[in-house]
Amino acid sequence: MSLGSLSAIVPMICVVAAAIATMTAEAFRLPDERMPMGPLGAVGLVGAALATALLWGRRAVSFDVVSADDFGLFVTGLLVLIALLSLALSPPTLDRERLPRGEYYALLLFSTAGMMLMATATDLLVIFLALEVLSLGVYVLTGFRRNSPIAVEASMKYFLLGAFASAFFLYGIALTYGLAGTTRLDRIGRVLVGQALHPTPLQLAAMAFLLVGFSFKVSAVPFHMWTPDAYEGASPPVTGFMSTGVKAAAFAAFARVFLSALAPLQADWSALLWIVAAATMIGGSLVGVVQTSVKRMLAYSSIAHAGYLLVALLSGGDGRGAILFYLAAYAVTNLGAFGIVGLLENADRGNDRISDYAGLWYARPWLAVLMTTFLLSLGGFPPFGGFVAKWYVFTAAIQAGNVWLAIIGVLTSVVSVFFYLRIVVMMYMTPATEPIVVPRVPKIAGAALLVAALLILYLGVLPARILDLASASAAAIF
């Protein structure tokens, strides 16, 4: 291992250093002193972005069990963007709830570092360790509003179910090690190639346990029950962060394990994953229709989008690049939607009901326009990034022969349009029963929402560059 191989973990080092600096600043801060916690985190994230850019396009640089290949770097860059937008959207909630900034930003940054490690790890044990690092931070962030019974309950549910899923994942790792004598993904693939023609019950059990662990993290049916409670209980910036960052990291590791190490067993796991993908799309869309809470509606929307990503995972070929593009489009869209939800909250009212959005166009027109942009992108309307992402996924599915999955995906997308447009109708066509009190929007949060909206338009109008990057990044390792 050469000194140059250390460059593979420089992005994570930058983020961890920023987290430690933020935590230290909080520890030595005087009671009435305000310190720039957010800017400290932003410096570390910008450093990680620069390190990622410098590593891009080079032959994969490996630090033992961490590989800085273009696939991992694409997800790392996306995670940096997610964390930066989350930092920008958090101050209104932190000020309103009077939450400790240092603890909040440190947890967010440590979770981001865990996500980066998970996206670039090439060993099952390291993936598990990264999963626990990011999960512990997100568990605490979910219940960060300690005075809220809903938040504490959501955090406890998430923790207990997450521990249960982690046990399945760890048992799958143990079985895989028993079969292959290693936890390195490349070596597992080489061992399984010779055994794929006659899979044993032990191989199928290992595969199933790993599938359960990943399905929980990506909110796939039937392992999704934690999602609506956690999304409703957490503060909106935290919900936006975990709904996008955790999903990006989990799908990156999911793709590495199943499309690389377990590729010889694809004939066995694809049938099971087909059922999970279909159930996830149908369940997320149908249950989302009856929700009256915007957070819970977006939670079931997130479940449905996990189903679309599973379709891309099953499709192989172009579907591998579709995973990355879809993650990018979904991340900026969902962060923007939860950013609006967070800005509309105030100390007296949560403004979380769909009816609370009535007349928003007349109270804050620019917030209504931005929310419309995010909702239409989630629904797959042109000319937004969500439309191109879904088109890319369904095209890859048809080319791979998964025509019925593509049909289910299109039909469930049509169903989901109802609960997205319901909010749009509320904002523009339904008079408010009482005056809407919208808190002042900080400039940095407004700028973050504008950036998210512009990125969505860019991905919808000029997607070719990002599509090519996503395809080339996926082709680099698969």
> Per-residue pLDDT for the chain (478 aa), expressed as one digit of tens each?
554 577 778 899 999 999 999 988 887 776 666 677 788 889 999 999 999 999 887 766 667 788 888 888 999 999 999 999 999 999 888 888 888 888 899 999 999 999 999 999 989 999 999 999 999 999 999 988 888 888 889 889 899 988 888 999 999 999 999 888 888 888 888 888 776 557 788 888 999 999 999 999 898 988 888 889 999 888 889 999 999 999 999 999 999 999 888 888 888 889 899 999 999 999 999 999 988 889 999 999 999 999 999 999 998 777 788 899 999 999 999 999 999 998 888 766 667 788 888 888 888 889 999 999 999 999 989 899 999 999 999 999 999 889 999 999 999 999 998 889 999 998 988 887 776 777 778 889 899 999 999 999 999 999 989 999 988 888 877 6
CA separation, residue 114 to residues 38, 388, 406 (Å): 19, 29, 33
pTM score of the predicted model: 0.94
Q: Which residues contact 49 (CB under 8 A, 6 or more apart)?
A: 11, 77, 80
Contact 334, 303 (CB under 8 A): no
Burial of 27 (0-12, 13-18, 19+ CB in 10 A): exposed
How far apart are alpha carbons 106 and 102 in whole angstroms? Answer: 6
Do you find a cis peptide bond into 11, omega within 30 degrees of 0? no
Q: Which residues contact 424 (CB under 8 A, 6 or more apart)?
A: 371, 372, 375, 376
Q: How far is CA 80 from the centre of its chain?
A: 12
Q: Which two tokens stand for residue 389?
A: 């992402």
How far apart are alpha carbons 90 and 192 in whole angstroms? Answer: 46
How far apart are alpha carbons 382 and 391 in whole angstroms? Answer: 10
Contact 459, 411 (CB under 8 A): no
Q: Which residues contact 194 (CB under 8 A, 6 or more apart)?
A: none
